[in-house]
Amino acid sequence: MKKYLIAATFVTGLAGLGTMGMALADDDDCRVPMADWQPRDAVQNMAEAQGWTVRRIKTDDGCYEIKGRDAQGREIEVKIDPGTLAIVEMEYDDDDDDDDDRGGRDRNQTPTGTGQPPANGLFVPGSKPGAVVQ
Amino acid sequence: MKSLLYALALSTALTVPAMARPVTLTTNMNSYGGDGAYLALYVTDAQGAYQGSLWLAGGKSKYYTHLSDWYRATQGNPAEINGITGASVGAGRQLKITLDLADSLFDAGYELHIDASVEDMRDSPSEVVVPLTTQGMGQPVPGRRYIRDFTYDM
């Protein structure tokens, strides 16, 4: 019985470690072999095509990371897949440096009435939506 | 030239109100005792097929997966919300959005959905689902978890 209990504890412990490992794995990392990376110029061109102003391009967690401003002038930090140049993560940056805190409600206030809405057929072309949190 | 301008002004005045409907979307939050809520406001057709987004409250895209119905429809594509994002909305606060919506959205079977999510609390997809009708304007609709009520009005 004692042997059985020890074995059961061991197996449970291993399973627990496995779960923990999965929980710790970050889903916003990129895993692209260096040979498949597109050059920095391609990232710059992709960013400019989006209307972004690039301040800095660096690598982080295996991804390209662009810091700059979007077409509306907001601070952005965008992670890009180095192989496909797809957007992995996009943050509208503010003075909140804690990546895991999604509080910061008032600090990442978007300027209202300045952005063009997407052409999804819902908005009247040329209109500028605005929002206020009270 | 002057007559051309008059004609242009007249035709604009006649056509724009027929196509556009200035709408105010008001979302009042409950005092749920947590961090600011991320909200996705979007439109589906009568069959539930995603048509487009109206607003996304919450600045960090890595949390958009928690707006699960919206995320399933859009894969979090930034192009869906370009120009229509803002700050998350704190407990007990009010989010008031003003936009010009296409007239054809009303009384045509379309529904407005709101997905809500709060850090360390349960996700609440399609917390509000309300048909877009001229009759429903100004009628508060209660939410299930984080939203006290939602109203669309002219």
Q: Does B92 contact chain A (CB < 8 Å)?
A: no
Number of domains in chain B: 1
Residue A4: inside a domain: no
ipTM score here?
Answer: 0.75
Q: What is the pLDDT of residue B41?
A: 96
| Helix, coil or strand: residue B68 | helix
At residue A25 the predicted structure's pLDDT band, cuts being 50, 70 and 90, is very low
Mean pLDDT of B15-36: 81
> Between chains, do B96 and A118 touch, taking CB under 8 Å as contact?
no
**Is A31 part of any domain?**
no
Taking the C-alpha atoms of residue B50 and residue A22, their distance in angstroms, rounded to an integer, is: 32
pLDDT, mean of residues A47-75:
88
Copy the structure tokens of residue B94.
Answer: 């009010």
Coil, helix or strand at residue A113: coil
Residue A5, strand partner residues: none
Give the pLDDT confidence score for residue B115 in this predicted structure.
96
Chain A residues in contact with B116 (beta carbon < 8 A) = none
Here the tokens at position B26 are 């008001």
- Are A79 and A67 in contact by the 8 Å Cβ rule? The answer is no
Would you say B37 and B120 are in contact if contact means Cβ atoms under 8 Å apart?
no
A49 vs B: CB within 8 A: no
Bigger pLDDT: B134 vs B21: B134
The answer to the question of residue B9 being in a domain is no
Maximum alpha-carbon separation in chain A: 75
**String of b and e for A15-42 (b: at least 16 CB within 10 Å)?**
eeeeeeeeeeeeeeebeeeeeebbeeee
- The CATH number for A51's domain is 3.10.450
- Tokens 């349960």 map to which residue? B122
- B62 compared with A99, residue with greater pLDDT: B62
User: Could B98 and A131 be called an inter-chain contact, meaning their C-beta atoms sit closer than 8 Å?
Assistant: yes
Question: Whole-angstrom Cα distance, residue A78 to residue B80?
Answer: 16
Structural domain includes residue A6: no
CATH of the domain at B127: 2.60.40
Q: How many structural domains does chain A have?
A: 1
Most confidently predicted of A4-8, A73-77, B62-66, B126-130: B126-130
**A75 is a domain residue:** yes
- Measured CA to CA in angstroms, residue A112 lies from A19, A26, A123, B99 at distances of 43, 33, 16, 11
Helices (H) and strands (E) in chain B, counts: 2, 9
- Residue B42: domain span: 19-153
Q: Is the pLDDT of residue B128 over 90?
A: yes
Label residue A108 by pLDDT band (50, 70, 90): very low
**Cα–Cα distance between A17 and B151 in angstroms, integer?**
48
Chain B residues with beta carbon closer than 8 angstroms to that of A124: 16, 19-20, 100-102
Note down the domain range covering A67. 38-97
